[in-house]
Structure 1
Amino acid sequence: MAAKVEILELKRNSHPNNNWDKILNEVVKMEKKLFPKHESLARSFEEELRKKNTGLLYLELDGEVAGYVMYTWPSSLCASITKLAVKESCQRQGHGGSLLRAAIQKCRERKVQRVSLHVDPLRAPAVHLYKKLGFQVDALIRGYYSSDRDAYRMFLDFDAD
Protein backbone atom coordinates (compact mmCIF):
# COMPACT_ATOMS: atom_id res chain seq x y z
CA MET A 1 0.00 0.00 0.00
CA ALA A 2 1.33 3.41 -0.97
CA ALA A 3 2.23 5.86 1.77
CA LYS A 4 -0.08 8.84 2.24
CA VAL A 5 1.92 12.01 1.56
CA GLU A 6 0.57 15.53 2.10
CA ILE A 7 2.16 18.96 2.13
CA LEU A 8 0.40 21.22 4.60
CA GLU A 9 0.87 24.80 5.73
CA LEU A 10 1.37 25.38 9.44
CA LYS A 11 -1.00 28.14 10.50
CA ARG A 12 -1.74 29.05 14.09
CA ASN A 13 -5.37 28.56 15.17
CA SER A 14 -6.53 27.35 11.78
CA HIS A 15 -4.73 24.03 11.84
CA PRO A 16 -6.88 20.87 11.86
CA ASN A 17 -7.34 19.71 15.46
CA ASN A 18 -5.12 22.68 16.37
CA ASN A 19 -1.98 20.46 16.35
CA TRP A 20 0.29 23.53 16.15
CA ASP A 21 2.38 22.53 19.19
CA LYS A 22 2.74 18.88 18.16
CA ILE A 23 3.86 19.77 14.63
CA LEU A 24 6.17 22.54 15.83
CA ASN A 25 7.76 20.09 18.31
CA GLU A 26 8.34 17.57 15.50
CA VAL A 27 9.93 20.28 13.33
CA VAL A 28 12.17 21.44 16.19
CA LYS A 29 13.23 17.83 16.92
CA MET A 30 14.16 17.36 13.26
CA GLU A 31 15.97 20.71 13.16
CA LYS A 32 18.11 19.76 16.17
CA LYS A 33 19.00 16.41 14.65
CA LEU A 34 19.86 17.63 11.15
CA PHE A 35 21.60 20.98 11.69
CA PRO A 36 24.64 21.99 13.77
CA LYS A 37 23.64 24.02 16.83
CA HIS A 38 24.95 27.32 15.42
CA GLU A 39 22.86 26.86 12.22
CA SER A 40 19.72 25.68 13.96
CA LEU A 41 16.53 27.68 14.33
CA ALA A 42 15.28 25.21 16.96
CA ARG A 43 15.20 27.85 19.70
CA SER A 44 13.49 30.47 17.57
CA PHE A 45 11.01 28.65 15.30
CA GLU A 46 7.96 29.92 17.17
CA GLU A 47 9.34 33.47 17.17
CA GLU A 48 10.13 33.24 13.44
CA LEU A 49 6.65 31.94 12.65
CA ARG A 50 5.03 34.87 14.48
CA LYS A 51 6.48 37.21 11.85
CA LYS A 52 3.89 38.36 9.34
CA ASN A 53 5.85 37.37 6.23
CA THR A 54 7.10 33.93 7.25
CA GLY A 55 5.59 30.62 6.22
CA LEU A 56 6.24 26.99 7.01
CA LEU A 57 5.11 24.05 4.93
CA TYR A 58 5.55 20.54 6.25
CA LEU A 59 5.35 17.14 4.66
CA GLU A 60 3.25 14.57 6.42
CA LEU A 61 4.00 10.95 5.57
CA ASP A 62 1.46 8.49 6.96
CA GLY A 63 0.53 11.00 9.69
CA GLU A 64 4.14 11.79 10.72
CA VAL A 65 6.06 14.99 10.00
CA ALA A 66 8.82 13.92 7.60
CA GLY A 67 10.13 17.28 6.39
CA TYR A 68 9.59 21.02 6.27
CA VAL A 69 10.48 24.17 4.41
CA MET A 70 10.47 27.65 5.93
CA TYR A 71 10.41 30.74 3.76
CA THR A 72 10.07 34.50 4.14
CA TRP A 73 8.92 37.20 1.78
CA PRO A 74 9.96 40.60 3.16
CA SER A 75 8.71 42.34 0.01
CA SER A 76 7.13 41.58 -3.32
CA LEU A 77 10.58 41.73 -4.87
CA CYS A 78 12.12 38.75 -3.16
CA ALA A 79 11.61 35.75 -0.92
CA SER A 80 14.10 33.49 0.84
CA ILE A 81 14.05 29.80 1.55
CA THR A 82 15.46 29.85 5.07
CA LYS A 83 15.22 26.13 5.91
CA LEU A 84 14.59 22.91 4.03
CA ALA A 85 14.91 19.60 5.82
CA VAL A 86 13.77 16.01 5.40
CA LYS A 87 14.18 13.24 8.01
CA GLU A 88 17.18 11.08 7.21
CA SER A 89 15.01 7.98 6.78
CA CYS A 90 12.90 9.83 4.19
CA GLN A 91 15.68 11.45 2.17
CA ARG A 92 16.37 10.65 -1.49
CA GLN A 93 12.69 9.94 -2.15
CA GLY A 94 11.73 13.25 -3.75
CA HIS A 95 10.28 14.84 -0.62
CA GLY A 96 12.75 17.74 -0.55
CA GLY A 97 11.86 18.58 -4.14
CA SER A 98 8.14 18.41 -3.35
CA LEU A 99 8.55 20.76 -0.40
CA LEU A 100 10.69 23.18 -2.39
CA ARG A 101 8.23 23.23 -5.32
CA ALA A 102 5.37 23.93 -2.88
CA ALA A 103 7.29 26.85 -1.32
CA ILE A 104 8.15 28.21 -4.78
CA GLN A 105 4.45 28.01 -5.69
CA LYS A 106 3.51 29.96 -2.54
CA CYS A 107 6.03 32.62 -3.56
CA ARG A 108 4.57 32.75 -7.09
CA GLU A 109 1.09 33.22 -5.60
CA ARG A 110 2.46 36.19 -3.65
CA LYS A 111 3.80 37.64 -6.93
CA VAL A 112 7.38 37.52 -5.67
CA GLN A 113 9.93 38.17 -8.42
CA ARG A 114 12.93 36.27 -7.01
CA VAL A 115 13.48 33.44 -4.55
CA SER A 116 16.93 33.08 -3.01
CA LEU A 117 18.61 30.65 -0.65
CA HIS A 118 22.02 29.74 0.74
CA VAL A 119 23.55 26.27 0.61
CA ASP A 120 26.87 24.73 1.55
CA PRO A 121 28.64 23.89 -1.75
CA LEU A 122 29.72 20.56 -0.21
CA ARG A 123 26.07 19.48 0.10
CA ALA A 124 26.03 18.17 -3.46
CA PRO A 125 22.54 16.57 -3.35
CA ALA A 126 21.02 19.86 -2.18
CA VAL A 127 22.91 21.91 -4.78
CA HIS A 128 21.81 19.44 -7.47
CA LEU A 129 18.16 19.69 -6.36
CA TYR A 130 18.21 23.49 -6.42
CA LYS A 131 19.79 23.58 -9.87
CA LYS A 132 17.31 21.00 -11.15
CA LEU A 133 14.47 23.32 -10.07
CA GLY A 134 16.03 26.28 -11.87
CA PHE A 135 18.11 27.98 -9.18
CA GLN A 136 21.39 29.53 -10.31
CA VAL A 137 24.51 30.23 -8.28
CA ASP A 138 24.84 33.97 -7.75
CA ALA A 139 27.94 34.10 -5.54
CA LEU A 140 30.16 32.15 -3.19
CA ILE A 141 29.91 33.70 0.28
CA ARG A 142 33.10 32.93 2.21
CA GLY A 143 32.65 32.07 5.90
CA TYR A 144 28.84 32.17 5.67
CA TYR A 145 28.16 29.26 8.06
CA SER A 146 31.43 29.45 10.01
CA SER A 147 34.98 30.60 9.41
CA ASP A 148 35.73 27.43 7.44
CA ARG A 149 32.32 26.83 5.78
CA ASP A 150 31.19 28.79 2.78
CA ALA A 151 27.82 29.03 1.05
CA TYR A 152 26.52 29.46 -2.43
CA ARG A 153 23.93 32.18 -2.69
CA MET A 154 21.45 30.89 -5.24
CA PHE A 155 18.41 32.47 -6.85
CA LEU A 156 15.41 31.67 -9.01
CA ASP A 157 13.79 34.51 -10.97
CA PHE A 158 10.22 34.33 -12.17
CA ASP A 159 9.32 35.64 -15.58
CA ALA A 160 7.27 38.81 -15.35
CA ASP A 161 3.77 38.02 -16.57
Structure 2
Amino acid sequence: MGARGPKKGQYSMRPMPKGAPAPVRGGTRYKSGAPDRPKHLGKAARKVWDRTVKEMDAAGALAVADRDVLAVYCVAVADLEALSAEIERDGLMIDIPTFDRNGRPTGATNRKPHPGLKWRADLMNKVRQYAETLGLTPAARSRAGAAPEAAPTAATNKVIALRDRIAALRADD
Protein backbone atom coordinates (compact mmCIF):
# COMPACT_ATOMS: atom_id res chain seq x y z
CA MET A 1 0.00 0.00 0.00
CA GLY A 2 1.39 3.40 -0.98
CA ALA A 3 1.72 6.54 1.08
CA ARG A 4 -1.23 8.91 1.20
CA GLY A 5 -1.25 12.47 -0.01
CA PRO A 6 0.48 14.29 -2.84
CA LYS A 7 3.93 13.33 -4.08
CA LYS A 8 6.79 15.23 -2.50
CA GLY A 9 7.45 18.48 -4.31
CA GLN A 10 4.29 18.21 -6.37
CA TYR A 11 3.01 21.58 -5.21
CA SER A 12 6.28 23.41 -4.80
CA MET A 13 6.83 26.74 -6.57
CA ARG A 14 8.55 26.54 -9.92
CA PRO A 15 10.92 29.32 -10.94
CA MET A 16 9.78 31.66 -13.70
CA PRO A 17 11.49 31.09 -17.05
CA LYS A 18 14.12 33.61 -18.10
CA GLY A 19 12.71 36.58 -19.98
CA ALA A 20 9.13 35.98 -18.73
CA PRO A 21 7.34 39.18 -17.75
CA ALA A 22 6.69 39.71 -14.08
CA PRO A 23 3.13 38.91 -13.06
CA VAL A 24 0.85 41.94 -12.74
CA ARG A 25 -0.91 42.24 -9.41
CA GLY A 26 -4.66 42.12 -9.95
CA GLY A 27 -4.42 40.55 -13.43
CA THR A 28 -3.75 41.90 -16.89
CA ARG A 29 -4.81 45.45 -17.68
CA TYR A 30 -6.86 46.08 -20.80
CA LYS A 31 -7.89 49.36 -22.35
CA SER A 32 -11.14 50.37 -20.69
CA GLY A 33 -14.10 51.82 -22.54
CA ALA A 34 -16.81 50.76 -24.92
CA PRO A 35 -15.70 48.60 -27.87
CA ASP A 36 -16.95 49.20 -31.40
CA ARG A 37 -20.13 47.31 -32.27
CA PRO A 38 -19.47 44.45 -34.71
CA LYS A 39 -21.03 44.87 -38.15
CA HIS A 40 -22.34 41.28 -38.31
CA LEU A 41 -24.90 41.74 -35.52
CA GLY A 42 -28.55 41.59 -36.55
CA LYS A 43 -31.11 44.25 -35.69
CA ALA A 44 -32.25 42.62 -32.43
CA ALA A 45 -28.66 41.87 -31.35
CA ARG A 46 -27.71 45.51 -32.03
CA LYS A 47 -30.46 46.65 -29.66
CA VAL A 48 -29.15 44.29 -26.98
CA TRP A 49 -25.61 45.55 -27.64
CA ASP A 50 -26.64 49.19 -27.26
CA ARG A 51 -28.47 48.71 -23.96
CA THR A 52 -25.82 46.39 -22.47
CA VAL A 53 -22.85 48.55 -23.48
CA LYS A 54 -24.60 51.66 -22.17
CA GLU A 55 -25.12 50.07 -18.75
CA MET A 56 -21.68 48.42 -18.52
CA ASP A 57 -19.88 51.55 -19.68
CA ALA A 58 -21.71 53.68 -17.11
CA ALA A 59 -20.58 51.23 -14.42
CA GLY A 60 -16.99 51.34 -15.70
CA ALA A 61 -16.99 47.56 -16.12
CA LEU A 62 -16.20 47.40 -19.83
CA ALA A 63 -12.96 46.91 -21.70
CA VAL A 64 -12.33 47.04 -25.43
CA ALA A 65 -11.17 43.41 -25.26
CA ASP A 66 -14.69 42.35 -24.21
CA ARG A 67 -16.00 42.95 -27.74
CA ASP A 68 -16.22 39.34 -28.93
CA VAL A 69 -17.71 37.90 -25.73
CA LEU A 70 -20.19 40.75 -25.60
CA ALA A 71 -21.16 40.13 -29.26
CA VAL A 72 -21.82 36.44 -28.56
CA TYR A 73 -23.88 37.40 -25.49
CA CYS A 74 -25.95 39.87 -27.55
CA VAL A 75 -26.64 37.31 -30.28
CA ALA A 76 -27.70 34.72 -27.68
CA VAL A 77 -30.04 37.18 -25.95
CA ALA A 78 -31.55 38.26 -29.29
CA ASP A 79 -32.09 34.60 -30.27
CA LEU A 80 -33.67 33.92 -26.87
CA GLU A 81 -36.05 36.86 -27.29
CA ALA A 82 -37.07 35.72 -30.80
CA LEU A 83 -37.58 32.10 -29.72
CA SER A 84 -39.59 33.16 -26.67
CA ALA A 85 -41.84 35.28 -28.91
CA GLU A 86 -42.37 32.30 -31.23
CA ILE A 87 -43.25 30.00 -28.31
CA GLU A 88 -45.61 32.66 -26.96
CA ARG A 89 -47.30 32.87 -30.37
CA ASP A 90 -47.58 29.08 -30.93
CA GLY A 91 -48.27 28.07 -27.33
CA LEU A 92 -46.47 25.64 -25.06
CA MET A 93 -48.23 22.67 -26.66
CA ILE A 94 -48.62 22.16 -30.41
CA ASP A 95 -50.68 19.74 -32.51
CA ILE A 96 -48.65 17.18 -34.47
CA PRO A 97 -50.48 15.30 -37.25
CA THR A 98 -50.40 11.50 -37.02
CA PHE A 99 -49.60 9.17 -39.91
CA ASP A 100 -50.38 5.51 -40.52
CA ARG A 101 -47.68 2.91 -41.13
CA ASN A 102 -47.66 3.75 -44.84
CA GLY A 103 -47.00 7.44 -44.21
CA ARG A 104 -50.51 8.67 -45.00
CA PRO A 105 -52.09 11.24 -42.67
CA THR A 106 -54.81 9.76 -40.48
CA GLY A 107 -56.51 13.08 -39.79
CA ALA A 108 -55.87 12.83 -36.04
CA THR A 109 -53.37 14.92 -34.11
CA ASN A 110 -51.27 14.49 -30.99
CA ARG A 111 -50.52 17.31 -28.53
CA LYS A 112 -46.80 17.60 -27.86
CA PRO A 113 -44.61 20.16 -26.10
CA HIS A 114 -43.29 22.89 -28.36
CA PRO A 115 -39.88 21.79 -29.70
CA GLY A 116 -38.54 25.30 -29.03
CA LEU A 117 -38.81 24.72 -25.27
CA LYS A 118 -35.63 22.63 -25.26
CA TRP A 119 -33.83 25.16 -27.44
CA ARG A 120 -34.98 27.95 -25.14
CA ALA A 121 -33.61 26.12 -22.09
CA ASP A 122 -30.25 25.73 -23.88
CA LEU A 123 -30.24 29.41 -24.85
CA MET A 124 -31.06 30.43 -21.28
CA ASN A 125 -28.04 28.48 -20.04
CA LYS A 126 -25.81 30.10 -22.66
CA VAL A 127 -27.07 33.58 -21.81
CA ARG A 128 -26.51 32.89 -18.10
CA GLN A 129 -22.95 31.69 -18.76
CA TYR A 130 -22.08 34.71 -20.91
CA ALA A 131 -23.70 37.08 -18.43
CA GLU A 132 -21.59 35.46 -15.70
CA THR A 133 -18.47 35.88 -17.84
CA LEU A 134 -19.23 39.56 -18.43
CA GLY A 135 -20.05 40.18 -14.77
CA LEU A 136 -23.71 40.99 -15.45
CA THR A 137 -25.18 38.78 -12.72
CA PRO A 138 -25.41 39.80 -9.05
CA ALA A 139 -23.14 36.91 -8.03
CA ALA A 140 -20.49 37.88 -10.59
CA ARG A 141 -20.60 41.51 -9.46
CA SER A 142 -20.19 40.56 -5.82
CA ARG A 143 -17.19 38.35 -6.66
CA ALA A 144 -15.66 41.18 -8.66
CA GLY A 145 -16.20 43.58 -5.79
CA ALA A 146 -18.43 45.86 -7.83
CA ALA A 147 -20.48 47.98 -5.48
CA PRO A 148 -24.17 48.50 -6.10
CA GLU A 149 -25.58 51.99 -6.38
CA ALA A 150 -24.97 54.26 -3.40
CA ALA A 151 -27.20 53.64 -0.42
CA PRO A 152 -30.07 56.11 -0.06
CA THR A 153 -29.62 58.98 2.39
CA ALA A 154 -32.05 61.17 4.26
CA ALA A 155 -31.74 63.77 1.51
CA THR A 156 -32.84 61.29 -1.18
CA ASN A 157 -35.29 59.09 0.79
CA LYS A 158 -38.29 60.43 2.70
CA VAL A 159 -38.64 57.29 4.83
CA ILE A 160 -35.08 57.62 6.11
CA ALA A 161 -35.63 61.33 6.79
CA LEU A 162 -38.77 60.51 8.78
CA ARG A 163 -36.96 57.78 10.71
CA ASP A 164 -34.19 60.22 11.62
CA ARG A 165 -36.72 62.84 12.80
CA ILE A 166 -38.50 60.28 14.99
CA ALA A 167 -35.20 59.13 16.47
CA ALA A 168 -34.25 62.75 17.22
CA LEU A 169 -37.62 63.39 18.94
CA ARG A 170 -37.26 60.26 21.06
CA ALA A 171 -33.73 61.28 22.05
CA ASP A 172 -35.04 64.63 23.33
CA ASP A 173 -37.45 62.89 25.75
TM range (shorter): under 0.3
TM-score (norm 1): 0.26
Higher RCO (CA 8 Å, separation ≥ 6 residues)? 1
Q: Which has the higher helix share?
A: 2
